[in-house]
Structure 1
Amino acid sequence: MYRFLLTPRWWGINVFVLLAIPFCVYMGSWQLSRFEARVDDQRTAEAQADSARTEAPRPLAEMLPVDKATSGKRVTASGRYGEQLLVPDRELDGRRGFYVLTLLRTDGGRTLPVVRGWLPGTADAAKAPAPPAGEVGVTGALQASETPGDNGVSAQGGLPRGQTGAISTASLVNLVDDDLYDAWVTLDTADSGMTAVPASAPSGTGLDLKAFQNLGYTGEWFVFAGFVVFMWFRLLRREIEFQRDAELGIVEPDTLASPASASPASASPAASASADQDTDVEASTPVR
């Protein structure tokens, strides 16, 4: 009854199933590993943030460039405050407001963007307190340049003069002529009655939307593997039922699925009689 499994058609089906199932399982396992890696990154970032609060700050130059290991670490820098910008549409403790971003021209000759604090309401330069004059020293959490569209960072353009949507070198280089660090700092203690902005986890870590997309893809690949198995058993069952019906004479054997049905010995009497009549007609036709 199961001899049909040796036909070319079923050979193709079986090979496809044997290749598809391991592939789906592999892809599902890979997506699951990506999700688990993001969970580990989240735990590492939380532990790093906790330890950063108790660690002594280090000079800025020792912590560059910013990566997952240095993001959130406390650093120190000194210099003079220069131009001030506002970063609108930033949320803190469930309220909308804006960051006050001031450029610190360090003693090393480069400029460091410093978030001095957060204020509620619409971004307004009149609300932002002026930066301290003269030589200042700052201490805060080191942060990597933001990417528009991630972690609530606005990607809108056409902002008024004196405002920027993202705290990044790519955005600020179009607004100022200074040689900028590819990093920024949020102060431990905000200036002039503003609220300090907490450090955020580096991009690509934590349980964000991408992490849950990995988890969803994991389920999809395992569902695909189960669907392949289900369809194989369904096709097998239908083929067995067809073979039984053919043996009982309920249906005619499928000439494409059964090689034996195409042999001369299995030809029907009507087909043989028709072939004999054609032969007789050809034989009785005179040759001219």
Structure 2
Amino acid sequence: MYRFLLSRQWVILTLVALLLIPTMIRLGIWQMHRYEERTARNELVSDALDARPVPVERMTSPGHTVTSKERYHSVTAKGRFDTGDEVVVRRRTNSDDAVGYHVLTPFVLDDGKVLLVNRGWIPADGPSQTEFPEIPEPPRGEITVTGRLMPDETTEASGIKNLQGLPDRQIMLINSEHEARRLGAEVLGGYIVQTAPAPKGDTPEPLGKPGSEDAALNYAYAIQWWLFAAGVPVGWVILVRRERRDRAAAASAPAEDKETAPAPA
């Protein structure tokens, strides 16, 4: 009755089904791991954004690598901006995906150490990409700034190549070690994205808060893959039963034809 399962066509079909089931289960497990990773990241970001600001030197120091738990934590610092050593970070976009620069200004603390402050985004509307753009002045004198702590940027993490031979006072990546060598000063590890005080005239344009990753989508994909895996054997059984029914109907057709055929005269 089921000898047709030994045919070449059905052997191949069965092997494909047996291969698809564990593959789809593994894909579901992978999506569930992605869901757990994104959920954990969202919780870390939310906890960091909700935490009370602390003095920056409690979170970082020269040579320190900002960890994922420290990232986005709100910190404060007291000192003054040093616009003479200010640089711009090329090829950065704002919330409307317009290409421009991030303004990176050294902030000299009371103890002489330097904190890198990303003051925000400005448009690249100068006459050329080689000229240093016009940048709004930060507050003068001693002030207290607040910002979100960020790790040093790398090509591996950002996908941005650290190009050489750039115009004067232009960089591709924010890196405290590189800036320490350039400034000849002790620079705290990482940098901050300034959140206060707000710039006059909203320029540089403040950078928005980090968005949460869509972890629920990975959860839905995991369920989807597991449903597909459960559907493969169900579909295989349906196909087998239909094939058996079709073959039985084809075998009974000649017998019925003989019974209904007219007798010879």
Q: TM-score, normalised by structure 1?
A: 0.57
Aligned to 2:170: 163
Structure having greater relative contact order (Cα 8 Å, sep ≥ 6): 2
Confirm whether residue 60 of structure 1 aligns to residue 60 of structure 2. Answer: no
Instruction: Quote the Cα distance in structure 2 between the aligned partners of 1:219 and 1:170.
Output: 45
- 1:85, CA displacement in angstroms? 0.4
Instruction: Quote the Cα distance in structure 2 between the aligned partners of 1:22 and 1:117.
Output: 49
Aligned AA for 2:67? D
Q: Secondary structure in 1 aligned to 2:86?
A: strand
- 1:58, CA displacement in angstroms? 1.7
Q: Secondary structure in 2 aligned to 1:69?
A: coil
Confirm whether residue 197 of structure 1 aligns to residue 203 of structure 2. Answer: no
Unmatched 5+ residue regions in structure 2? 255-265
Q: Contact 1:114–1:186 at 8 Å: present in 2 too? A: yes
Aligned AA for 2:147? G
Instruction: Quote the Cα distance in structure 2 between the aligned partners of 1:216 and 1:142.
Output: 33
Q: Contact 2:136–2:204 at 8 Å: present in 1 too? A: no
Instruction: Quote the Cα distance in structure 1 between the aligned partners of 2:199 and 2:246.
Output: 82
- Relative to structure 1, the CA distance from residue 28 to residue 95 in structure 2 (aligned partners, 3 Å threshold; closer, same or farther) is closer
- Relative to structure 1, the CA distance from residue 171 to residue 227 in structure 2 (aligned partners, 3 Å threshold; closer, same or farther) is farther
RMSD over aligned CA atoms reads: 4.7
Question: Of the candidates 85, 88, 108, which is equivalent to residue 87 of structure 2?
Answer: 85
Q: How big is each residue's C-alpha offset from its partner over 1:83-133, in whole Å with a ceiling of 9 and x where there is no partner?
A: 210123433453744222122355666543212343344366351246677
Instruction: Quote the Cα distance in structure 2 between the aligned partners of 1:232 and 1:126.
Output: 66
- Relative to structure 1, the CA distance from residue 121 to residue 14 in structure 2 (aligned partners, 3 Å threshold; closer, same or farther) is closer
Q: How does 1:11-50 map to 2 (within 5 A)?
A: 17=17, 20-35=20-35, 37-39=37-39, 41-42=41-42, 45-46=45-46, 48-49=48-49
Instruction: Quote the Cα distance in structure 2 between the aligned partners of 1:176 and 1:224.
Output: 58
- Relative to structure 1, the CA distance from residue 131 to residue 198 in structure 2 (aligned partners, 3 Å threshold; closer, same or farther) is closer
Confirm whether residue 232 of structure 1 aligns to residue 228 of structure 2. Answer: no
Question: Of the candidates 96, 104, 114, which is equivalent to residue 107 of structure 2?
Answer: 104
Confirm whether residue 69 of structure 1 aligns to residue 69 of structure 2. Answer: yes
Instruction: Quote the Cα distance in structure 1 between the aligned partners of 2:113 and 2:218.
Output: 40
Confirm whether residue 122 of structure 1 aligns to residue 86 of structure 2. Answer: no
- 1:222, CA displacement in angstroms? 4.3
- 1:45, CA displacement in angstroms? 2.5
Instruction: Quote the Cα distance in structure 2 between the aligned partners of 1:4 and 1:59.
Output: 76
Q: Secondary structure in 1 aligned to 2:25?
A: helix
- Relative to structure 1, the CA distance from residue 176 to residue 110 in structure 2 (aligned partners, 3 Å threshold; closer, same or farther) is same
Instruction: Quote the Cα distance in structure 2 between the aligned partners of 1:220 and 1:174.
Output: 52
Q: Secondary structure in 2 aligned to 1:139?
A: strand
Instruction: Quote the Cα distance in structure 1 between the aligned partners of 2:16 and 2:205.
Output: 59
- 1:164, CA displacement in angstroms? 1.6
Q: Secondary structure in 1 aligned to 2:189?
A: coil
- Relative to structure 1, the CA distance from residue 20 to residue 95 in structure 2 (aligned partners, 3 Å threshold; closer, same or farther) is closer
Structure whose alpha-carbon radius of gyration is higher? 1
Q: Percent identity?
A: 31
- 1:215, CA displacement in angstroms? 6.4
- Relative to structure 1, the CA distance from residue 160 to residue 167 in structure 2 (aligned partners, 3 Å threshold; closer, same or farther) is same
The number of residue pairs the alignment matches comes to 239
Aligned to 2:96: 94
Q: Secondary structure in 2 aligned to 1:70?
A: coil
Q: TM-score, normalised by structure 2?
A: 0.61
Q: How big is each residue's C-alpha offset from its partner over 1:183-223, in whole Å with a ceiling of 9 and x where there is no partner?
A: 1012222556534623643xxx8327xx6984686477347
Unmatched 5+ residue regions in structure 1? 251-288
- 1:73, CA displacement in angstroms? 2.1
Instruction: Quote the Cα distance in structure 2 between the aligned partners of 1:241 and 1:170.
Output: 74
- Relative to structure 1, the CA distance from residue 161 to residue 200 in structure 2 (aligned partners, 3 Å threshold; closer, same or farther) is farther
